[in-house]
A and B are shown apart, each in its own frame.
Chain A
């Protein structure tokens, strides 16, 4: 693989560089645009998970919240 942006996209996704050989012929500017879309999708899911966890803890009866917070958010 010689396309640097494709290698970067593979790194972003934690893939072997060879996994994205099928994008070798794609112009670098378009791969860069795809990297941007991937980053946006990851950030959107991160935010959604974080907001959902906060909401889930708030929905629990008050005495359970501390334990639930510890269980759900520790090292996550």
Chain B
């Protein structure tokens, strides 16, 4: 059965494997939990294989001048290894290093960063840095990356990021995020005008299906707010009805 959880987990697993979701085998009969276990197992396995090296890189970064560490991260290590090493560092050192790196490199690094492992670092970054990096990720259409940060950045900061998103991107990110409660928390911060924009973005059946998926994973209160906004638009309402019919078939 093609549930929202299953669609989300297929997208996340494909990303972890470094492939397009269309290149992932059908895996018929897999549960979302099964796919999640593979994805998380792969992440842990890859990290564990080089854990000692990543820690040593982190140690070395603390032993050389910040400017040199910053240059090596950008010119030699690259965003993947820098992201893995950053997650092993003391948050204070990683935050100091982040201040010496350009936002473009931090955005590259964010795509590779394990948001949960690096949550203490992210929490310590200045708000302007988070917003600058998020703006770049929005511009690049890195919706999957943005979805991973919803649960580790402050809700009010996330709400600022949401202001930069078009309504379709907002729906996609809300569906990709693993943490439904965090999505709900961000929606609470979103003004009614944004909810109305989301409703206006429901101009086809696919967007209506995306909206139904979001409604299904947030609180009844936030779900109803979105549905009420849709009800003010005849076009959106008709697409939503079509989507409901399609889903019940």
- What are the residues of chain A within 8 A of B25 when measuring CB–CB? 30, 33-34, 37
Interchain CB contact under 8 A, B78 and A72: no
Interchain CB contact under 8 A, B50 and A22: no
**Can you give 9 contacting A-B residue pairs, CB < 8 Å?**
A10-B41, A15-B37, A30-B25, A44-B18, A48-B80, A53-B57, A72-B56, A73-B53, A76-B56
- What are the residues of chain A within 8 A of B32 when measuring CB–CB? 22
- What are the residues of chain A within 8 A of B220 when measuring CB–CB? none
A18: min CB distance to chain B, Å: 10
Closest to A76 in B: B53
B102: min CB distance to chain A, Å: 17
- What are the residues of chain B within 8 A of A38 when measuring CB–CB? 17, 38, 42
Q: Which residues of B contact A (CB under 8 A)?
A: 16-19, 24-38, 41-42, 44-46, 48-50, 52-53, 56-57, 59-60, 64, 68, 71-72, 75-78, 80-81, 84
Given contacts A55-B76, A56-B76, 14 further A-B contacts (CB under 8 A): A12-B45, A13-B38, A13-B41, A19-B41, A23-B30, A37-B19, A41-B42, A45-B80, A49-B80, A49-B81, A55-B75, A60-B64, A68-B60, A72-B57
Docked Cα-Cα span, A58 to B3, in Å, equals: 49
Q: Does A14 contact B (CB under 8 A)?
A: yes
Docked Cα-Cα span, A31 to B71, in Å, equals: 42
Q: Which residues of A contact B (CB under 8 A)?
A: 9-10, 12-15, 19-27, 30-31, 33-34, 37-38, 40-42, 44-46, 48-49, 52-53, 55-56, 58-60, 64, 68, 71-73, 75-76
Closest to B33 in A: A22
Interchain CB contact under 8 A, A58 and B76: yes
Docked Cα-Cα span, A12 to B42, in Å, equals: 9
Interchain CB contact under 8 A, B78 and A52: yes
B216: min CB distance to chain A, Å: 20
Docked Cα-Cα span, A9 to B38, in Å, equals: 9
Docked Cα-Cα span, A46 to B54, in Å, equals: 12
Docked Cα-Cα span, A56 to B48, in Å, equals: 21
Closest to B29 in A: A25
Interchain CB contact under 8 A, B34 and A22: yes
- What are the residues of chain A within 8 A of B42 when measuring CB–CB? 13, 38, 41-42
Interchain CB contact under 8 A, B35 and A22: yes
Interchain CB contact under 8 A, B41 and A41: no
Interchain CB contact under 8 A, A26 and B27: yes
A39: min CB distance to chain B, Å: 10
- What are the residues of chain B within 8 A of A24 when measuring CB–CB? 29, 34
Docked Cα-Cα span, A13 to B57, in Å, equals: 24
Interchain CB contact under 8 A, A27 and B72: no
If A25-B30, A38-B17 touch, whether A20 touches B56 (CB-CB below 8 Å) is no
Docked Cα-Cα span, A37 to B35, in Å, equals: 13
B195: min CB distance to chain A, Å: 35
